Chains A and B, each alone.
Chain A
Amino acid sequence: MDFSFTIYIVLIPLFAFLVNGLLGDKIKDSVSGNLATFALGISTLLSYFTAYHYFLNVGKVDDIYEPITAFNTTWVNFTDKLHIDLGVLIDPISVMMLVVITTVSLLVHIYSLGYMKGDEGFTKFFSFLSLFTFSMLGLVVATNIFQMYMFWELVGVSSYLLIGYYYTKPSAVAASKKAFIVTRFADLGFLIGILFLSYTTGTFDFITINENASAFAQAAPLGFMGLSALTWALILIFIGGAGKSAMFPLHIWLPDAMEGPTPVSALIHAATMVVAGVYLVARLFPIFSAVDPIALEIVAIVGGLSSLFAAIIACTQIDIKRVLAFSTMSQIGYMMLALGVSGMGAEGTGFMASMFHLFTHAMFKALLFLGAGSIIHAVHSNNLTDMGNLRKYMPITHITFLIACLAIAGVPPFSGFFSKDEILVAAMAHNPIYFWIEWLVAGLTAFYMFRLYFGIFWGNKKEHIYAHESPFSMTLPLILLAIGAAFAGFIPFNEFVTSDGGLLHIHIHWDIALPSIAVGLVGILIAFIFYKKESKWPSRMENSVGSLYTYAYNKFYVDEIYMFITKKIIFKRFSTPIAWFDRNVVDASMDGIAKVINYCANKIKGIQSGQLQDYVTAMLVSVIALVFIIIYFTI
């Protein structure tokens, strides 16, 4: 079967972006919104079609899902060996990502039709959404790492545009700048990693790199500190991935990114863009597992640390979108850890679990964000303290939010349980320490999610006379995503998405599942006691842990540490003297030359009197003088 039509999955959103972006104010809001949504609907159908044919009909060759290059064209041709291609690569993870991105993006488009209604920049918003979807789709189908890097930057730009969508708000502008600068800083590592990788392997192409992974790993020259150049390349590439995926310590942009409109947070900062880092590691997984194990160990450590760190902070935050942002960071930490503890082939439980969790997480986290958007739409506040007792007013939001909370808390049979269980199995097989960390995080996750749930929908007896259920365009995506969040766990991922494309035999390990269910239920129970009704427990708890609460509430002062390093050390000790040198030495010497010339010109400009006869006299005298000089020197 010919998969070349898949290029249209990517190009249709680009078309929608161009139409909406170029026509701008000239078309009506309803037209632009429907156009973008309709375009994405076609992309979604095409990706479902692709997934159906790839997974069920033609993808399998000898029981293994082979990668297919559906479309390829040379974009920039430098030499025979060095050329940059653009194309579409079809393999299990890219097809899965196509389905995730188009589904979530389509639902977010529908949701935005209601959420952004009447907003001044409606057309602009939809054109940015289309741009983002185009870039993200281009990223996942990239055939080579350079194409991925280009689209990687494009998603960074569209994220910047959308975070700063409310550009009249200074905090939104600052947040968008922060997100762009932090991720761009991390992408520097990615770029250097690409250069190392392509230098040692001699190609950008993913299929070539992955198929000859072990050969490349053995042939790679020794680099620095006992690790080969290839290992360093992958560690540097992982820095880029960690920046995009908001891993510690490059996570500081993600909570601030919540300044953007809520549908954007659901699409970009929960379901798709922030998992790009996970996708990057998964895409290069064969070579990651072929090089020195330290590379994957770093992935696992960063993932585990981030998940624990973010989960603790999430327990203390009041802004519901920030809680969800830290929750996202924590869940992505899970995925990273699962990749880090995984091996190839039969040991690839972690890889499968990571992709599985990416899939289920996209569903329930997009649902949580859209639900939060619905709540914010009704209450006009982001703060947990302004909410409570909303279940009567917003029944659909209530039920769907509850499903998402159960899914993320890992309660069976909701989707989060299955994927989280696989991650815990993989962590246990690799190193029990990781298992216990993630076990603790599972409990914290259940606690903070139900803290939100009880705080929003139950809690103290505040009456919200103005609160009402959102319009149908907003509740429809909630219902669809709730169905996904509830049942996505039954998809047999071990058959479809594995590290080597073959079938992976898994079953539920009850010895691991039971403790994780137990800790989840304990977390829910504690949240129930604390927040179901107003009680003294939360404040008593805060006092008993003392400074830990303060630290967590202030996000462990990571932002302040960055501020200290940049402002007090870099700006003050380096930038200020350099700026002084530039202004007083480099610029001043140029200014000095200009001043001297100006002074001389002022002094001699009186010669130009405007009197014709003066000029003629001067000319005549000069000619005569020249004649005498020439005669003197020639004779």
Chain B
Amino acid sequence: MIEGISIYQIITVSTIMFFVGAYGFISRKNLITMLMAIELMLNAVNINFVAFNKYLHPENMQGHFYSLFIIAIAAAEAAVAIAIIINLYRNLHSIDVEDVNKMKH
């Protein structure tokens, strides 16, 4: 419980963060920027976990551990994603998402 800040304010911040991320993911064409947008969405979720844990079940620690796991996995995922992007760049000489369209019908 943090003095002077209610759960609604925290959730408002995380919601804004999530939709900023979603908007970035859809609107940006650069794959690196899109990866950053994904990280933004993930961290919005992390804030939710920690906040709900703290405000609703302060005696438990699951929410904190979940967010720690998510951070670890997000690091791994970022590594994989960057590897994919580097490979794409080697093959296509571009990291524009619109050039990656080989997998259509």
Contact = CB atoms under 8 A, between A and B. Distances in A.
Contact of A611 (B22, B25, B101, B105): B101
Contacts of B86: none
A484 to B, nearest CB: 80
B85 to A, nearest CB: 13
B26 interface: yes
Contacts of A612: 97, 100
A246 to B, nearest CB: 65
Interface string B12-45: 0000000000100110000000000000000000
Contacts of A617: 26
Given A611-B97, A611-B98, A616 B104 contact: no
Contacts of A616: 25-26
A380 to B, nearest CB: 68
Interface stretch (A199-207, A400-408, A602-610): A602-610
A608 B26 contact: no
A620 B19 CA distance: 11
Given A620-B22, A620-B26, A608 B105 contact: yes
Interface string B88-105: 000000000110111111
Contact of B104 (A609, A613, A620): A609
Question: How many interface residues does chain B have, given as a range?
Answer: 10 to 19
Contacts of B22: 620
Contacts of B98: 611
Interface in B57-105: 97-98, 100-105
Contacts of A606: 105
B25 A613 contact: yes
A616 B22 CA distance: 9
Nearest to B98: A611
Contact of B101 (A605, A610, A620): A610
A628 to B, nearest CB: 15
A605 B105 contact: yes
A613 B103 contact: no
A437 to B, nearest CB: 81
A618 to B, nearest CB: 10
B19 to A, nearest CB: 10
Nearest to B25: A616
A610 B26 contact: no
A608 B104 contact: yes
Contact of B97 (A605, A608, A613, A620): A613
A478 B26 CA distance: 97
A547 to B, nearest CB: 75
B38 to A, nearest CB: 10
B44 to A, nearest CB: 14
A163 to B, nearest CB: 56
Contacts of A605: 105
Contacts of B103: 610
A220 B55 CA distance: 93
A403 B87 CA distance: 94
A26 to B, nearest CB: 52
A608 B103 CA distance: 9
Contacts of B26: 613, 616-617, 620
Contacts of A608: 104-105
A610 B98 CA distance: 8
A612 B22 CA distance: 13
A616 B41 CA distance: 14
Contacts of B102: 610
Nearest to B101: A610
B84 to A, nearest CB: 12
A613 B26 CA distance: 5
A494 to B, nearest CB: 88
B101 A609 contact: yes
A610 B25 contact: no
Contacts of A611: 97-98, 101
Nearest to A605: B105
Contacts of A620: 22, 26
B97 A610 contact: no
Contacts of B101: 609-611
A218 to B, nearest CB: 78
A620 to B, nearest CB: 6
Contacts of B105: 605-606, 608, 610
Contacts of B104: 608-610
A608 B101 CA distance: 10
Interface in A583-616: 605-606, 608-613, 616
Contacts of B97: 611-613
B56 to A, nearest CB: 21
B45 to A, nearest CB: 14
Contacts of A610: 100-105
A612 B103 CA distance: 10
B103 to A, nearest CB: 6
Nearest to B102: A610
Nearest to A614: B26
Nearest to B104: A610
A620 B27 CA distance: 13
A459 to B, nearest CB: 82
B34 to A, nearest CB: 8
A361 B102 CA distance: 81
A357 B100 CA distance: 89
B92 to A, nearest CB: 13
A605 B97 CA distance: 21
A617 B25 CA distance: 9
A614 to B, nearest CB: 9
A245 to B, nearest CB: 66
Contacts of B25: 613, 616
B24 to A, nearest CB: 11
A609 B105 CA distance: 7
A617 B97 CA distance: 14
A528 B40 CA distance: 117
A613 B38 CA distance: 13
A608 B104 CA distance: 6
Interface centre among A611, A612, A616, A617 (most CB of B within 10 A): A612
7 contacts: A605-B105, A606-B105, A611-B97, A613-B25, A613-B97, A617-B26, A620-B22
Interface of B: 22, 25-26, 97-98, 100-105
Interface of A: 605-606, 608-613, 616-617, 620
Given A610-B100, A613-B97, 18 more contacts: A608-B104, A609-B101, A609-B104, A610-B101, A610-B102, A610-B103, A610-B105, A611-B97, A611-B98, A611-B101, A612-B97, A612-B100, A613-B25, A613-B26, A616-B26, A617-B26, A620-B22, A620-B26
**Top-6 shortest CB links A-B:** A610-B104, A610-B101, A605-B105, A608-B105, A613-B26, A608-B104
